[in-house]
Chains A and B, each alone.
Chain A
């Protein structure tokens, strides 16, 4: 009897059950890929010329030169690190009131809408684009970078803090409220103990992100190690560039492990 069944089994499609739609999508993807690859204009001659440079870069990465440009590198690093710390501190200080204002369960609706739109603006603008504008306004250097990172921190911390406040245990807030506490006392005794560990964790995480970003916004003139990196690549000094990249990777690794250790310790 079993001979009438097929010998192999195929799992039926899960998401798109209509066969025609599925084939249509597959053809669509194929057509897109052909068009996209077709519209690439690659100058293969230039690429093959570049391969020799690529090899030199890899050699530079394997034998990094920390010494000959150390003065520039250390200056860039100091700028990046100070920029990272100051912008995280200021950004967190500003984003706490905004985050509280963006929590639906604490404030009246107009305040909520204003704070949420501040968060949305800060999140939708990319750091590099913000940096371009701030450099145009405030001049080259780490101060523009500091402002950029502060601006980006506000959107990040305020949004996550507001989401966290909205998810607190209402029973505790209710208990404090029923003692006749004012709004500020409610904030201090019901909200703050519940969200503080997470706020500290988020701030440490943002410190880590801000350092990574500080390496990028230097490319558009906002100071820091990115500016040094840009200069070294422009001069084709790949061994110095390799050294800078290795330093960035090392600091990011240390920051990541350090912050995850600290977060575990605090919670």
Chain B
């Protein structure tokens, strides 16, 4: 017989110490939040914040009705935007594939030297947004489509490289071993053992990234890298909010169509 008198009458899921620890954790988070809030709003001018509803109503009033006559003028920038996204994705794939091959544990020629370098390239490219790349490239090679394409390509390396090297690491070793057993060299193992296994993944990842790149390329024009963002910037600079509405609706439509196309292609592949 166990002695039930010494046990608590109510059952609880966690012990007292755990509950105290969890409670302290939440308290710390709340304290941190309050402190951060105070630091952040130090320079905020509350008069502007209070004024915001009026500003919103003002801008909203100017945005309707949309000036549809502006639409034909937007077709060329839209074509440029699509080119930035597509050529940028192509460039990104071309650069990402060798990086991924160096980063994957089972295909890299050297785990100690080349793999960390490849991983650093992937992390660096992933942590810097394409808008920042574009900002840099516009000052270096001048405004225009080329800066946008390179920005998109540089940003895509990290995304495609990371997903692709994970796909390479997940390949079935048996098929590779079978090819090796025929006496194939490293290049032949790559073409006949690895590539057929990862090709569908590469297509899927590229189409997925293309879809994201369409979204990102619509705003690259804000820093001068061409495309429809350039028109957005121009319309906002002259406060032509009815033109801004048309541009935003066009961007929304493009994004929806590209998402639909990418879902269609990925379903066909997988």
Contacts and interface: CB of A to CB of B under 8 A. Distances in A.
A181 B118 CA distance: 54
A139 B145 contact: no
Given A42-B146, A85-B36, A252 B83 contact: no
B36 A129 contact: no
A216 B127 CA distance: 11
Contacts of A234: 139
A215 to B, nearest CB: 7
Contacts, number: 135
Interface in B107-129: 123-124, 126-129
Interface stretch (B40-48, B94-102, B163-171, B177-185): B40-48
B141 A36 contact: no
User: Interface SS of chain A: helix, strand, loop or mixed?
Assistant: helix
B262 to A, nearest CB: 15
B86 A86 contact: no
Contacts of A37: 87
B152 interface: no
Given A82-B40, A233-B139, A137 B55 contact: yes
Contact of A126 (B33, B128, B146, B215): B215
Give the interface size class of chain A. 35 or more
A249 to B, nearest CB: 5
B236 A85 contact: no
Contacts of A78: 39
B49 to A, nearest CB: 6
B52 interface: yes
A41 B227 CA distance: 12
A216 B44 contact: no
B42 to A, nearest CB: 9
Interface in A21-52: 32, 36-37, 39-43, 46-47, 49-51
Nearest to A253: B123
B130 to A, nearest CB: 9
Given A219-B135, A233-B139, A40 B83 contact: yes
B40 A79 contact: yes
B127 A39 contact: no
A236 B144 contact: no
A88 B174 CA distance: 45
B127 A236 contact: no
Given A85-B36, A248-B127, A128 B144 contact: no
A219 B223 contact: yes
Interface string B226-270: 000000100010000000000010011001100000000000110
Nearest to A90: B33
Contact of A50 (B123, B140, B248): B140
Nearest to B39: A82
B266 to A, nearest CB: 12
A112 interface: no
Contacts of A249: 123-124, 127-128
B219 A126 contact: yes
Interface centre among A39, A83, A133, A236 (most CB of B within 10 A): A133
Contacts of B79: 39
Contact of A216 (B32, B52, B132): B132
Interface string A166-197: 00000000000000000000000000000000
Nearest to B265: A15
B145 A15 contact: no
B86 A143 contact: no
Interface in A78-137: 78-79, 81-83, 85-86, 89, 124, 126, 128-129, 132-133, 136-137
A236 B139 contact: yes
Given A36-B86, A78-B39, A138-B52, 13 more contacts: A37-B87, A39-B80, A40-B83, A40-B146, A57-B136, A85-B32, A132-B236, A136-B59, A137-B55, A142-B43, A143-B44, A219-B223, A252-B126
Smallest CB-CB A-B distances: 6 pairs: A139-B48, A252-B127, A82-B36, A46-B142, A82-B40, A50-B141
Interface of B: 29, 32-33, 36-37, 39-41, 43-45, 48-49, 52, 55-56, 59, 79-80, 83, 86-87, 123-124, 126-129, 131-132, 135-136, 139-142, 144-146, 149, 215, 218-219, 222-223, 232, 236, 248, 251-252, 255-256, 268-269
9 contacts: A15-B268, A43-B144, A47-B146, A82-B40, A124-B256, A141-B44, A212-B127, A219-B223, A252-B127
